[in-house]
Amino acid sequence: MDSEIKFSSSVTIIERKNFWYGLKSRLPYPFALLGLAVGTTLAFTATPPVGLTTEGQRAIVIFVLCLLLWLWGRIPLVITSLLAITALPIAGVMKASRVYALFGNEAVFFILGAFILAAALMASGLSSRIALQILEKTGSTPFKLLLGIYLLNVFLAFFMSEHAVAAMMFPIIVEIARALKLKPKQSSYATAIFLAMAWGTSVGGITTFLGGARAPLAVGILKEMTGKSISFFDWFLAAFPITFLLTVAGLLLLVRFFPIDIESISSAKLVLRARNNQLGSLSYSELVVGFIMLLTIICWVFLGEEYGLANISLVAVIVLFFLRAVKWRDIEERVNWGIILMYGGAICLGAALADTGAAKWLVETKLSGLVSNRILIIAMFSFISYVLTEIMSNSAVVAALLPVALPLAISANFDAVVMVYVIAIPAGLGFALPMGTPANAIAYSSGYVERKDMILPGIIFGLLSWAIFTIVVIFLWPLIGIK
């Protein structure tokens, strides 16, 4: 991301460039598409290697094509998933009825319900009220304000998509920076509070199914390929120790790299108090949304396995509308509907590799040397997941790695559930680059953060996060029953 994201109400000015300049700047794109088309055709028509069926070979080709498109980033994720959905039945890999039936996967509907509930929190104003109340009461020193921003983002990402949390908190932090008269790209404290937002949402987002859709996606792929599942409470139990350690490590790094260069935050406290007073008393919508959200989380924890996470989510959504706590127009503008198609396509790819035997063949012929060393499996796949999430969507990382990693885990007599954690949790720990996660991009767009301020601290935090994750998996998880 080479330029800042700017918001303006002024008239858009369209810059007209000469035809040959435009053609020259776009030449790599058609050549790349042609190369992908030729390579895919050759791979489709080649003779399958020993032990691999024609359907399995074609499933691998489609999988690799989608992986390259995800890495390339020039085609939207949802369009790549639509390509997979249409290519699988056309190529004879799976029947169309099987492909489209996978959109009925519980994970897809859980994601839908969770997105709508998060949108209701924002539309009602309850999420902003909670944020402002906590920030106003964080104390009167710059460190306490920084700590409040950081911990608040961690906590809110337990219950909302980390991207939504960052988008909600961004204007509040901008107002704080302006009230304190912090100079863009000069004040280390300004950099710290914006990175506290970005890092906090990423750290908190790995803790529950609500922090990001990669966790429900991973569970959906797990269920399609193995028949196993992970409960809401089990995920929280596995992730929370990592979240706690990363929260401490992130705070120490923020203070170390970005020393506090202001003495008072009294002007920021006035701004927060004014914003808080503007909200008035709790509305009917806020009360109902808050109560339903709390009740839903309790049901996920204690009744999720019996009734299903998706069913509980959708019942909660239905109740919200029956009680007239939210309006549909407020929800539809806050939900990324295309992402539902993206996850459906990713689940289809995983199922195709499993159904055709392609995933098993890949493990037996290409990865068999890793089977005897479980620690190497953990370290390697978690590290690959962490590295890839810095350059591509974390959900795309899960979709790319998990269909191959699950058969490897089974071959190594390694719990497939643990392999889901090994890939899905590190996939949420991108801290170094603006394109690593929307939260990073939002922080960078503020104008208060330079890329050099993100890269070195972000790489150090990312590597430290990977090391902490690996240590927790090997030494702590067995003590709490995750073997």
Query: Each residue of 378-430: pLDDT tens digit?
Result: 898 899 899 888 866 787 788 888 988 888 888 778 888 999 999 999 999 98
Collapsing DSSP to helix, strand or coil, 283 comes out as coil
pLDDT, position 25: 52
pLDDT, position 27: 54
244-207-299 Cα angle (round to 5): 125
Does residue 7 register a pLDDT over 80? Answer: no
pLDDT, position 2: 37
pLDDT, position 326: 92
pLDDT tens string 258-283 = 999 888 888 888 888 888 888 888 99
pLDDT, position 374: 80
By CB atoms closer than 10 A (0-12, 13-18, 19+), residue 196 is buried
pLDDT range class, residue 20, cuts 50, 70, 90: very low
pLDDT range class, residue 462, cuts 50, 70, 90: very high
pLDDT, position 26: 55
Q: pTM for the full model?
A: 0.78
pLDDT tens string 57-106 = 999 999 889 888 877 777 887 888 889 889 999 999 999 998 888 877 77
**Interval 183-194 mean pLDDT:** 91
pLDDT tens string 195-215 = 999 999 999 999 999 888 789
pLDDT tens string 215-270 = 998 998 998 888 899 999 999 999 999 999 999 999 999 999 999 988 888 888 88
Q: Do the Cβ atoms of 192 and 144 come closer than 8 Å?
A: no
pLDDT, position 322: 96
Q: Mean pLDDT across the chain, nearest whole number?
A: 85
Does residue 370 register a pLDDT over 70? Answer: no
Q: Which residue type occupies 6?
A: K
pLDDT tens string 134-169 = 888 877 799 999 999 999 999 999 988 888 888 888
Tell me how far apart the alpha carbons of residues 92 and 187 are, in angstroms, rounded to a whole number. 59
pLDDT tens string 93-120 = 999 998 888 877 777 888 888 889 888 9
pLDDT, position 252: 96
By CB atoms closer than 10 A (0-12, 13-18, 19+), residue 50 is exposed
pLDDT range class, residue 482, cuts 50, 70, 90: confident
Collapsing DSSP to helix, strand or coil, 53 comes out as coil
Q: Contacts from 142-147 at CB under 8 Å and sequence distance 24+? A: 142/189, 142/260, 142/262, 142/263, 142/264, 142/265, 143/255, 143/260, 145/176, 145/193, 145/265, 145/268, 146/189, 146/192, 146/193, 146/196, 146/254, 146/255, 146/260, 147/251
Collapsing DSSP to helix, strand or coil, 207 comes out as coil
Q: Report the number of secondary-structure helices (H) and strands (E) in the chain.
A: 23, 0
pLDDT, position 423: 94
